[in-house]
Structure 1
Amino acid sequence: MEAFELGDLGTNAYLAYRTGEPDAAATVFDPGQRPGPLLARIRGLGLAVERVVLTHAHADHIAGLAELRDLHPGCAIEIHAAETAYLQDPENNLSAWIGQPLVAPAATGTLAGGTTTRAAGLDWAILATPGHSPGGLTFHQQELGLAIVGDTLFAGGVGRTDFPHSDPAALQASLRQLMTLPEDTRVLPGHGPETTVGRERAGNPFL
């Protein structure tokens, strides 16, 4: 798993692949804005992107979709059903708010909490973590002790709930769910440094 801080808002994109396997299939979580460093790494490793998995459809997390899809035209794009339409709706993906209307490629499939998905040859449990957005998802890999949480939880902070379709009560329920993960679980957020469940449980002032 590798992380890339991309774009104006420092959005974290994550690249999952199995080492030692040339031409291996890779999964990208949240390709972010201006994904050049991510794409260069994929090219340098000789990887083929099989799937793009989205924690949610806000513009800073999806802006690189078109560029990535151009280079890997067969890759799937997967997101929670509640936000599939947001990919092509500048008002709902918030790109219109910043004067840069964005229409991203359409989703090819949907994901739901309580199911699993595959990345880097491993099964990842999908947790529904709405609140920041209605279709927010977290991806938990128990063997690796990782959770990719999007904008639900940050080191010392939590996701904003002042956007259209945000829901403060739903976010609090999602945070409580994340706090049930093992305390040594590495939390890989949508912005900022990684943290752990235990660290946030003990010291996050918003929890």
Structure 2
Amino acid sequence: MIKIKVKSYCLGMWQTNSYVVSAEESDKCWIIDAGFDPERMVADIKIKNLSPEYLIYTHAHLDHIAGTVVIREAFPDIKTAISEVEASFLGDPAKNLSSSAGMNVTADDADLLLTDGQELDFEGLKFKVLATPGHSPGGICLYQEDAALLFAGDTLFQGSVGRYDFPTSNGDNLFTSIKQQLMPLPPETKVFPGHGGATTIGEEKEHNPFLRG
């Protein structure tokens, strides 16, 4: 099996985690989420002579899309992907919450719209799209079964869960998403969240105070 490498970058004032996913003996990579001020990440990608194929958004809140312009300028051939539910959020500062933060953050329309259960191929390995609405209406996670990896966006954190007090958030949907889509995954599955440190499904199932009862 191809060995997947994951490099995390904590970016911008909201300390958003952006991830570069690559594989041994390949120059292809994916970027998961585009935090503010991604220049350091972009420089690393260029130093490693990687060629980003996709920028995949776990959701379209401003702190996960703000670095798009810099990334697309550096890598003009990169394609973007987002849940079809949040396609309109990219160009709408009210929907992506940037206007409420006194900013005007937008990104171009996505090249690929994602749906629950869809599979994306990365060097012969399948990443499955898991729809996890709640923190935002079109939030997704990306799951790679063979390597036991989950990119969780702002759905699940180490010891916590995503906020559900935003205008388009829904707490009931969030906990349903976690219960139905994430908790059934193998306990050894490594979770790479949108903020904070990595964890595992097993750790969160056992110790996350928001998931008890």
TM-score (norm 2): 0.93
Q: Which residue in the other structure is 2:162 paired with?
A: 159
Report the CA distance shift for 1:200/1:6 in structure 2 as closer, same or farther (over 3 A): same
1:60 to 42, 59, 63: 63
- Structure 2 Cα separation of the partners of residues 76 and 121 of structure 1: 19
Q: Is the Cα–Cα contact under 8 Å of residues 150 and 192 in structure 2 kept in the other structure?
A: yes
Tell me the alpha carbon deviations over residues 159-194 of structure 1, each in whole angstroms, 9 at most, x when there is no partner.
011111111111011110211100111010000000
Q: Which amino acid aligns with 2:114?
A: L
Matched, 1:47 2:60: no
Instruction: Provide, for residues 26-81 of structure 1, a one-character-per-residue CA deviation record: whole Å limited to 9, x for no partner.
Output: 11000211001110110111111111111000000000111101111121111001
Query: Which consecutive unaligned segments of at least 5 residues does structure 2 have?
Result: 1-5
List, as ranges, runs of 4+ consecutive aligned residues in structure 1 with deviation greater than 3 Å: none
| 1:181 match | 185
Select the residue among 193, 196, 201 that pairs with 1:192. Answer: 196
Question: What is aligned with 1:19?
Answer: 24
| Residues 117-138 of structure 1 deviation map (CA, whole Å, 9 limit, x = unaligned) | 1235421111110100011101
- Between the aligned partners of 1:120 and 1:163, the Cα distance in structure 2 is 37
Alignment partners' CA distance in 2, 1:184 and 1:115: 23
**Which among 30, 33, 49 is matched to residue 30 of structure 1?**
33
Q: Counterpart of 1:170 in structure 2: which amino acid?
A: N
Q: SS of 1:199's equivalent?
A: helix
Greater shift, 98-107 or 130-139, is seen at 98-107
Kept in 2, the 8 Å contact 1:131–1:161? The answer is yes
C-alpha offsets along residues 5-34 of structure 1, whole Å, 9 cap, x if unaligned?
10101100010112233xx22110002110
SS at match of 2:81: strand
User: Sequence identity, in percent?
Assistant: 41
SS at match of 2:23: coil
Partner SS state of residue 161, structure 1: coil
Structure 1: runs of 5+ lacking an equivalent: none
TM-score normalised by length of structure 1: 0.96
Whole-Å Cα distance in 2 between the matches of residues 119 and 168 of structure 1? 32
SS at match of 1:88: coil
For the 8 Å contact 1:39–1:68, the answer to whether it is kept is yes
Report the RMSD for the aligned CA atoms in angstroms: 1.0
CA–CA distance in 2 between the matches of 1:206 and 1:54? 25
